[in-house]
Structure 1
């Protein structure tokens, strides 16, 4: 029987999938054969998802927006974007994976893109376990028992959280630049100099004044440049992705998430048990390929030894040279190859 944790935690039901009738809003190593080597310096792969009809499905308190490609009966790759990004980070990855025979599902996380809270009264919660529950509930709604979970940043944190709490839902992981977030009081212990930038930035992100309406786009664009200093993206690339952070709840989710991580905001008490399990920093037995990015200032590349204590199952590690935080968009072939290889671990 498929484990449905959302129902047990919240006792809420979900309605059947609803497909949008309009495309508006989509804008708003392990011995496997190699995919073609390629690095995107601009948003060259918009055609990879531009012809996919946007879909909506009721997931607990959300109407979740997502795109899907590939045959329904195929192995599933569920791709989870980071912050501040959206589904377009995977535009070049999706066609590479469907060509390899995968069913690919790419959702907008809560507070992003076309994903909406159904009720104005619902707590805009940015806890990592809440996001993870959204994704497991999405899998339930789409009839997906298990999948290769691939993500970067927030997406990788979400994938790892699922692997900790519900490992049977994770066929394998591709984890890029992420670790589950907990309410740790803001990093009270001294940190290495290379990590201080990330903590200063986290405090800034926790301020509501940091995200003033449309002006937030300029801040986010600067963050993209800081997080990916070697990525030469153009105006069209950024504008195509910008509906992800035009969501009316984007700032509220971002602020609560960062305040909660810093111990400055309360979470949902119904999630306390799950949070305690994640905070214990448990090991992960799910087969995993970990991707480090040489130029990512938020998660300095640590080499395979940095993962041995946490990942006790089959583990592959790759450091991508010249790449920053937005790994799937900067190096789509490498990310897609990691998904293919993780599925075969």
Structure 2
């Protein structure tokens, strides 16, 4: 049975979907931008049938998740996402879990895995080592790669902020199509997730995220101690499976990240899959989570 629950965790009241037995092995899965918890609908069911208690939170700025105070900065920086995930684990009294995610959710999972490895049994990460190297954010990439980042540069401007505020569905629907060219989603599927973008903090969190990663705006002082640790690009020592889609329209491939994983590690490529890996290939994603857990137990 799938239920929507809420819990106060850190600076948020986090809304999350819970699937599977309450006493199952804990598995927390994080969605990316611009998606939401529905990315895991099918994969979570598969994992629940294999004994998992699957927790899928709405990230800050998405769906029913809300900030507890109007005074908390609407930060979308990576340190805040990592802090949110750790706070959720603490609030749910989950001492140790299998973590999975892609894009923003994968970044949070990678951060917790790198900085608090004792809290992580195993990791599944779309786009591999997902911790931003902000110190090198102004180093140019090849032109074809830079072209895929148009939306990030757009969000650096007030014109981009106004566009996102005015019609976030228009921008996000286009990103879905560009990033997952072989995924023939219908309007009902898109709209099921798009309601999450109506969160009153969505625009502020997104704009801050894409400005902070280039050092254009300051971060939240409350998570500065985490951001400082991430400057060192800490390795990930927990058992991990990293995944790319071979037709990902925003990520050129991350097999070269292997050196950042110092424990047991395997890299997989999902054929004819784009950026939204768990929703495009739910069975393959679920298998990766189960395999990562088995890797940790072997």
Pair in the same fold by TM > 0.5:
yes
CA contact (8 A) 2:246 2:273 kept: yes
1:208 matched residue in structure 2: 161
1:120 aligns with 2:70: yes
- Matched residue SS, 1:334: helix
CA contact (8 A) 2:133 2:233 kept: no
Report deviation, 1:317. 1.1
C-alpha separation between the residues in 2 aligned to 1:319 and 1:102? Answer: 24
* Deviations 1:39-78, CA, capped at 9 Å, x for gaps: xxxxxxxxxxxx6221110112211100112122221110
Structure 1 residues not aligned, in runs of 5+: 1-50
Correspondence for 1:135 among 85, 100, 120? 85
Q: Which structure dedicates a bigger proportion of its chain to helix?
A: 2
1:289 aligns with 2:241: yes
Correspondence for 1:228 among 180, 200, 203? 180
C-alpha separation between the residues in 1 aligned to 2:216 and 2:73? Answer: 16
1:163 aligns with 2:116: no
C-alpha separation between the residues in 2 aligned to 1:230 and 1:144? Answer: 37
CA contact (8 A) 1:197 1:297 kept: no
Counting only pairs closer than 5 Å after superposition, residues 14-93 of structure 1 correspond to structure 2 as 52-93=2-43
Counting only pairs closer than 5 Å after superposition, residues 178-257 of structure 1 correspond to structure 2 as 179-184=130-135, 187-206=137-156, 207-213=160-166, 215-257=167-209
* Deviations 1:11-51, CA, capped at 9 Å, x for gaps: xxxxxxxxxxxxxxxxxxxxxxxxxxxxxxxxxxxxxxxx6
Correspondence for 2:213 among 245, 249, 261? 261
1:335 aligns with 2:285: yes
CA contact (8 A) 2:27 2:54 kept: yes
2:57 matched residue in structure 1: 107
When normalised by structure 1's length, the TM-score is 0.81
CA contact (8 A) 2:15 2:57 kept: yes
Q: Tell me the C-alpha RMSD between the 2 structures.
A: 1.5
CA contact (8 A) 2:14 2:64 kept: yes
C-alpha separation between the residues in 1 aligned to 2:253 and 2:66? Answer: 35
C-alpha separation between the residues in 2 aligned to 1:255 and 1:236? Answer: 26
- Matched residue SS, 2:225: helix
C-alpha separation between the residues in 2 aligned to 1:73 and 1:53? Answer: 15
* Deviations 1:63-121, CA, capped at 9 Å, x for gaps: 11001121222211100000000000001111100111111000001000110012222
Report deviation, 1:162. 0.7
- Matched residue SS, 1:58: strand
When normalised by structure 2's length, the TM-score is 0.93
Give the structure with higher Rg (CA): 1
1:278 aligns with 2:230: yes
Report deviation, 1:182. 4.5
Segment of structure 1 superposing worse, 249-258 or 290-299: 290-299
CA contact (8 A) 1:194 1:297 kept: no
